[in-house]
Amino acid sequence: MASFALGSSSSSKITPWIFIFPLFLLTILPSISASTCSSQKFSMNKNFEFCNDLPQLSSYLHWSYDSSKSSLNLAFVATPPKPTGWISWAINPTSTGMIGSQSLIAFRQSNGQMIVKTFNITGYGPISPSEIAFEVSNMVGEYSGGEMRIFATMILPKNMTTINQVWQVGSSVEGEIPQKHAFGPANLNSKGTLDLLKGESSSSSSGGGSNSRLRDRNIHGVLNAVGWGILMPIGAIIARYLRTFESADPAWFYLHVGCQVSAYAVGLAGWITGLKLGGKSVGVRYTAHRNIGIALFSLATLQVFSALLLRPNKDHKFRRYWNYYHHSVGFTVIILSVINIFKGFNILEPEMKWKTAYASVIIVLGVIAALLEVITWIVVLRRRKSANRTKL
């Protein structure tokens, strides 16, 4: 039975914002997390393991890489400046720019049909179709509403898992030959490296490619660090130390519940992103991180629901045992969370500053808790003394 009764003192209802805030967070989070490419769908059940929003020319790359066959299955999506133009995606095995790039170029033929051809780009002059350094199959072009797509399968040399990619768009094709593209900053910076196995890309220009897998991992990290690793300890500090001050009753209780319900909601979102990542990461298992995550989530779920639904009244004879239970489960969840967040840092290997920032937050919270612990003891001891005095 639901009982939000505040012990013997009052039986006010928990104000709705306690639930509205986490709901609000849950509704805005998916919109932050969506990369453009991950919402792009293809016909005929074409699915790819990775996708990148490329940093220039509003272009997108989707791919799966099979290392046993060293085969790269890809889709490149871009919008040429004109419907009569062309789009191109290339690997440059010898250099980083256009010269030397082994290119796939797609355009519409005079009959309106899309075609994809391979070009060995050897200079800045006019180009012509030719063999390229890789075996290419399943070349298909698509056109819809101004947007063009290239699908292809390439067999790469063994162990060529980090590639130099180059992409481009142009506005005209004459006699089935793509004509030169514009030379704006975006056209000149549309290149970078791509790790086919990890999905991480970098670009010579600022910004870099935003990558679906890396972004999901970062979101997973931020949600869990904020939910489990920051909000939840703050909620515990509120409960333990604000309660000492009689004037803070029952405000501390609402703050505590609000903080922990929000922490749980954000942490739940983080936990779900973790499940998603775990499902996608075939072959690589982070057993300890995963098991700790499952354990702490189970304990936290027990904690939140038992606290909301089963908490005995303040005067109940079991209340003391309830408090031991509630405090030890809460403490365990927080310790497991902090451990797992640091394990996560070791997996994700973000820039050092993030680990330092989180460690600083934890140290600051720890210092605050230690100070408040001392203050609480002083207050409690003084109170006992004066209580004794009045007794005498």
Ligand X SMILES: *[C@@H]1O[C@H](CO)[C@@H](O)[C@H](O)[C@H]1NC(C)=O
Which positions lie near ligand X, rule CB under 6 A? 120, 122, 130-133
Residue nearest to ligand X (CB): 120
**Nearest distance, CB of residue 102 and ligand X, angstroms:** 7
Residue nearer to ligand X on the CB measure, 131 or 176: 131
Q: Is the peptide bond before 22 cis (omega within 30 degrees of 0)?
A: no
Q: What single letter denotes the amino acid at residue 361?
A: V
Residue nearer to ligand X on the CB measure, 7 or 97: 97
Other C-beta atoms closer than 10 Å to the C-beta of 35 total: 18
**Nearest distance, CB of residue 133 and ligand X, angstroms:** 4
3 state SS for 320-389: HHHHHHHHHHHHHHHHHHHHHHHHHHHHHCCCHHHHHHHHHHHHHHHHHHHHHHHHHHHHHHHHHHHHHH
Residue nearer to ligand X on the CB measure, 83 or 129: 129
List Cβ neighbours of 23 (8 Å cut-off, separation of 6 or more). Answer: 265
Residue nearer to ligand X on the CB measure, 89 or 264: 89
List Cβ neighbours of 253 (8 Å cut-off, separation of 6 or more). Answer: 6, 239
**Nearest distance, CB of residue 230 and ligand X, angstroms:** 55
Residue nearer to ligand X on the CB measure, 132 or 148: 132
**Nearest distance, CB of residue 121 and ligand X, angstroms:** 8
**Nearest distance, CB of residue 265 and ligand X, angstroms:** 55
**Nearest distance, CB of residue 122 and ligand X, angstroms:** 4
Angle at 359 between CA 355 and CA 360, to 5 degrees: 115
CA 363/CA 312 separation, integer angstroms = 34
Residue nearer to ligand X on the CB measure, 133 or 299: 133
